[in-house]
Structure formats: structure tokens, C-alpha cells
Amino acid sequence: MAGRNHLYIPGPTNVPNEILNAMHIPMEDHRSPVFPNLLKPLLHDLKKIFKTEAGQAFVFPATGTAGWEIALTNTLNPGDKVLIYRFGQFSHLWAEMAKRLGFDVEIHQETWGKGIPLDRLEQRLKEDKQHEIKAVLATHNETATGVTSDIGGVRNALDAASHPALLFVDGVSSIASIDFRMDEWAVDGAISGSQKGFMLPAGGAFLAFSQKALKAAETSVYPRCFLDLKDQVNSNKDGYTPYTPALPILYGLRKALDMLLEEGLENVYARHYRLAEGTRKAIAAWGMKLCAQPGFESNTVSAVVVPEGKDARAVISTAFSKYNISLGAGLSELSGKVFRIGHVGDMNDVSMLGAIAGVEMALLDNGFTIKPGSGVAAAIEYYRSTAAV
């Protein structure tokens, strides 16, 4: 098919040419005396994206899923109790991982479409008089449902209960695209990945840990090797890694950080809000609804609920085979019920108008009762009236 395939999924996202060019490098000696000139500034600038001065940033040649495991196994001990709210496929997977790793996982079910219920969380923490809960696992942006939770509110709940549990945050589809404040929210472990807001290929797990979490790592006896933070700490202080790094990811990250910091994080957040809001205007014009309930809408992905009798998989298939557009599928219990439009990473107004036009055509082709051009028109009016400087 002529033209390129357009990625409108919530990850992996489109990789800018500048980053692709930066990654196109010959291999080099990662034990050379000049390698720290690459790694040390990278780790320093990565902290700016997490918005931490007190914490320490890390890069693993892995994925966000590995990041979940790194947080759990480096700071906790076998059998420790962790608390998590399950309200989408990725919070579900994190909970399942914790169970498989041998932790005592307290799972609270929440409606898929909502986020972390702060009042109930605070009450549960207050009930835990003996502080048996050692960590709260919070999914900041639930990619499966297009839901963003209030991490500042989670911290407030912990503080209101005077609870010492560690706060770990899955920010894989939020960090570098949705406002994240590690120090202000006293996050102990922030987990992200390369393939979303950082605009890189998959293969990099980017993390930051508080001093409290690093202290906890000193007493953790959980078995680990490749994912051991201590090895990273010992090597990183001299500007090296404990094993062979993924050099293209590091060079791509250097360019990605330069691009993000040049745009300015507040501008990055504002751009993602605009892209998301224009998409939401289009969805409303089609007479359709989000999976996310009001107040929980994500600025990196919109999960669109199809009417009874319609199959979201048909929309996704038509969009791909006829219009060369990739949309996100409904996961697990949402399979066939939603399709997802990603608006994260290297995107602008015109990018999103292309996505909205393609989705609109796929909807019409599948017999959805919508007015041709309605979604595109709604998005155009919003983008024109809020044009970024």
C-alpha cells in the first residue's frame, strides 16, 4: 500500500526522524574512558523528566514490565503485602506479576473506566494499624481504558493515614507526556518505558527511585540478578553499566531528552492535553462515549466504546487494511467493546486530524450511524481556536 502505516496506538509510538538518525550509530566500547560522557549526563537529565532532584534515575535494557519487577524485587522481601487497585489490563498484569513473584497481593476491584478511589484507599490505609502493607502499587495511566489516576491524591491518602508504605507508580504511558512530579508527590519508585512518551523503540526501562526506596533495597533479600539495582548503583556512579547496554537506545534517549527539554515539559503536557481534547471533541460529535468516566480521561489514549451490536475489532481491521492506520484494540474484558486512539509522543494537530479522519471512514464503512465529517469538523474547530504558539 502506498504511503506509510500511521501508528495511532498508545505505544509503540512514532519515532521522530531526529531520533532514528541519532540511533544509527556504529557500535563502540562501552568500557572506554569516554563512555561516561554519554551515560552520566543521560541519567542526570532523565531525572528532570521524572521531576526529581532527590531521587536517582536508572536505565535498564528491558521494558516497562521489567520495571514493575525491578521495583518489587529490589525493595521488598518475599511474602510482603502490597496493595493494588485493578481497573484495567495493565493494573491487572502488575497484580498478577506480584502474585507470581510470591508477594501477598491485596487486590481491590474497581470499575474499568474509573481510577484509584482515593477515599477508599485512605480508609484502607487507616485500617492497616500494624502497617502490614509494605507498598502501594498505583497505575498512573491505565492504557487499556484510557484512565488517568490522581497520584498526588494517592500521596495525600498515605499521608492522611500516616502510613509508611512505599509508593510505586506505573508511569509507562504517562511520564514524558502527562504531568508527573516525583519529588512533590513523594513517589518512591517511578516506572516508565522507552516506547511511549519518550518516542523511542521498545527496549528501554527508565526508572527513578527515592532515597527511601534505595534504603529499602539495602535490606531486601529477594533473589535477583540481571534486574538488581545495586549493580546499577555501583556501576552508574562511575558512568558505566553492569552489563552491555543497548547503545542505540541510549543515543536515541539522548536526542529524545534534548527534544523534550527544548519543548519544555509544561508545553509537552499542554500539547498532549490539546491533542486529547480535540480527539474527545470528535468522539462526542460521533455520538460515542469514552470508556473513561468523567474526571478520569487520559491525555495519551482514548478508549472509545462502540454501541451494542457493533464490534470494535471490525473498525480496527478496516482502519488497518483499507486506510493503513493502526488503532489499539480492546484488551481482556474490553475485547470487541472498545477501540483505542493513541495521541502520545511525536504528534501534532494535523497528525490527529489524520487519525480522526481515518477512524471516521472506518466507522462509516462498518455501518455506524454518524454524519460524515462531523468528528473532523469538531476537532478542526477546537484545534483552530486553541492553536499552540
Cite the residue boundaries of each domain of the chain with CATH code 3.40.640.10.
18-262
Cite the residue boundaries of each domain of the chain with CATH code 3.90.1150.10.
6-12+264-385
CATH number of 6-12+264-385: 3.90.1150.10
| Omega within 30 of 0 (cis) for the link into 223 | no
- Predicted pLDDT of residue 4: 81
Please name the residues in contact with 389: beta carbons below 8 A apart, sequence gap of 6 or more. none
Task: For residue 206, list its beta bridge partners.
Answer: 59, 192
With residues binned 3-state (H G I as helix, E B as strand, rest as coil), the percentages for the chain, rounded to 5, are: 40, 15, 40
- Predicted pLDDT of residue 348: 96
Distance CA 71, CA 135 (A): 10
pLDDT (tens place) for every residue of the chain, 389 residues total: 678 888 999 999 999 999 999 999 999 999 999 999 999 999 999 999 999 999 999 999 999 999 999 999 999 999 999 999 999 999 999 999 999 999 999 999 999 999 999 999 999 999 999 999 999 999 999 999 999 999 999 999 999 999 999 999 999 999 999 999 999 999 999 999 999 999 999 999 999 999 999 999 999 999 999 999 999 999 999 999 999 999 999 999 999 999 999 999 999 999 999 999 999 999 999 999 999 999 999 999 999 999 999 999 999 999 999 999 999 999 999 999 999 999 999 999 999 999 999 999 999 999 999 999 999 999 999 999 997 65
- Predicted pLDDT of residue 210: 98
Distance CA 58, CA 224 (A): 16
CA of residue 330 relative to chain centroid, distance: 17
Contact of 174 with 180, CB cutoff 8 Å: yes
Please name the residues in contact with 372: beta carbons below 8 A apart, sequence gap of 6 or more. 360, 364
Q: Among 271, 252, 276, which residue's Cα sits nearest to residue 17? A: 252
Helix 265-285 vs helix 374-385: angle between axes, to the nearest 10 degrees? Answer: 150
- Predicted pLDDT of residue 136: 98
- Predicted pLDDT of residue 141: 98
Distance CA 8, CA 356 (A): 10
- Predicted pLDDT of residue 2: 75
Task: For residue 6, list its beta bridge partners.
Answer: 325
Q: What is the pTM of this model?
A: 0.97
Domain 18-262 has CATH 3.40.640.10: yes
Cβ neighbour number for residue 15 with a 10 Å cutoff: 20
Contact of 95 with 105, CB cutoff 8 Å: yes
SS3 (DSSP) at 84: strand
